[in-house]
């Protein structure tokens, strides 16, 4: 993939923004340099200009080409060790979910967190754990797994966040142990 460079100049709102290969960006910068540099002692709006001093002055004299933006690959990660543990506990997990009415992804996340805590000894859940369980069950993955956990925390109160992981609250525990059980009515 070709690296892309970008330069952005704002000479009193007579802004020039160029993006592309480094050679092209440098060529455009050289071409527009006389146009974007205000006359000595004046800004684009005609006010007297203060000369920068120190490090700022050195930085203003040599325009720099911005490095390309780093794109973050948003792939779905799977916890291999958890996947191996689920190989043994897969049927128990499926039964655990089947015994409960799951109305939303937020409720499903709380039920999964409860199973992981009670059966596998994981006291908290993160997006990797959540995705791993969904993959193991062959379920459709949400567009943003972390957001499901955040919504379950903020909107439903099923979790509290601690160090990037989510732990069940009393509300979440009550949902799993009482409110979501099939054949039971909530009090």
Q: Do 137 and 51 reside in the same domain of the chain?
A: no
Instruction: Return the pLDDT at 45.
Output: 52
Question: pLDDT tens digits, residue range 23-65?
Answer: 777 787 777 766 665 555 555 455 555 555 555 444 445 555 5
Say which CATH number the domain at 147 has. 1.10.10
Instruction: Return the pLDDT at 59.
Output: 47
Least confident span in 30-34, 86-90, 152-156: 30-34
Whether 73 has a pLDDT exceeding 50, the answer reads no
Instruction: Return the pLDDT at 173.
Output: 95
With vertex at residue 97, the alpha carbon angle to CA 95 and CA 98, rounded to the nearest 5 degrees, is 60
Whether 84 has a pLDDT exceeding 50, the answer reads yes
DSSP-assigned letters across all residues of 60-111: HHS--PBPPPPPPP-PPP--HHHHHHHHHHHHHHHHHHHTB---SHHHHHHH
Whole domain around residue 111: which residue ranges? 80-179
- 145 neighbors 130 (Cβ within 8 angstroms): yes
73 falls within a domain: no
- Give the whole-angstrom CA distance, residue 23 versus residue 19: 11
- Give the whole-angstrom CA distance, residue 82 versus residue 136: 10
Q: Do 87 and 174 reside in the same domain of the chain?
A: yes
Residue 145 has φ and ψ, to the nearest 5°, of -60, -40
74 falls within a domain: no
pTM as predicted = 0.59
Residue 42 has φ and ψ, to the nearest 5°, of -125, 150
Pairing of strands 159-162, 5-9: unpaired
Percent of the chain with pLDDT over 90: 44
Q: Do 57 and 96 reside in the same domain of the chain?
A: no
- Cβ atoms within 10 A of the Cβ of 161, count? 14
Q: Do 34 and 124 reside in the same domain of the chain?
A: no
Terminus-to-terminus CA distance in the chain, angstroms? 59
The pair of three-digit structure tokens given for residue 81, joined into one six-digit string: 């060790």
- Give the whole-angstrom CA distance, residue 61 versus residue 12: 17
């Amino acid at each position: 993939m070709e690296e892309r460079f970008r330069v952005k100049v704002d000479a009193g709102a007579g802004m020039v923004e160029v993006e592309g290969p480094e050679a092209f960006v440098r060529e455009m910068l050289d071409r527009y340099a006389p146009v974007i540099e205000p006359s000595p002692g004046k800004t684009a709006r005609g006010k007297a200009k203060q000369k920068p001093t120190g490090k700022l002055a050195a930085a203003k004299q040599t325009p720099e080409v911005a490095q390309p933006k780093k794109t973050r690959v948003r792939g779905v990660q799977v916890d291999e060790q958890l996947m191996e543990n689920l190989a043994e506990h897969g049927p128990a997990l499926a039964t655990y979910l089947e015994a409960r009415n799951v109305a939303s992804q937020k409720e499903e996340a709380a039920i999964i967190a409860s199973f992981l805590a009670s059966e596998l000894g994981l006291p908290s859940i993160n997006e990797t754990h959540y995705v791993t369980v969904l993959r193991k069950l062959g379920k459709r993955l949400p567009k943003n797994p972390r957001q499901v956990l955040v919504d379950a925390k903020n909107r439903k109160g099923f979790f509290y966040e601690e160090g990037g992981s989510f732990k069940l609250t009393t509300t979440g525990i009550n949902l799993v142990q009482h409110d979501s059980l099939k054949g039971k009515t909530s009090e």
